[in-house]
Amino acid sequence: MNQQLEDRKQESQRFQLKVLVNITGVLPLILLVGSYVRGELGFNPVEAALQKTGQIAVVFLVLTLAVSPLRRLLHIPIIRHLRKPLGLYAALYAVLHF
């Protein structure tokens, strides 16, 4: 019985982390589109969008690469499940950068 409760708790934590990562991953894109619609990207919006997507791609790449060392240093094994979605968001923004 205790094992089932522990498994449910871990599954719930995993789900919450994945939801948080997905919201965090899509939020910069929503903000970028909103800035474009409001005309806040300046004189050359394409260049500004390319620069922003490149910066965001680098941030997600660094976060992806930091998952394993953080997991080992902080002894938080559940964050290993975040590596894949973070890497996919890094790839998404890298593709949008081109």
DSSP 8-state code for residue 17: H
Chain centroid to Cα 12, Å, comes to 19
Instruction: Give the predicted TM-score (pTM) of the model.
Output: 0.87
Mean pLDDT by 10 residues, the chain (98 residues): 83 91 95 94 93 96 94 90 94 94
Handedness of CA 32, 34, 40, 44 (dihedral sign): positive
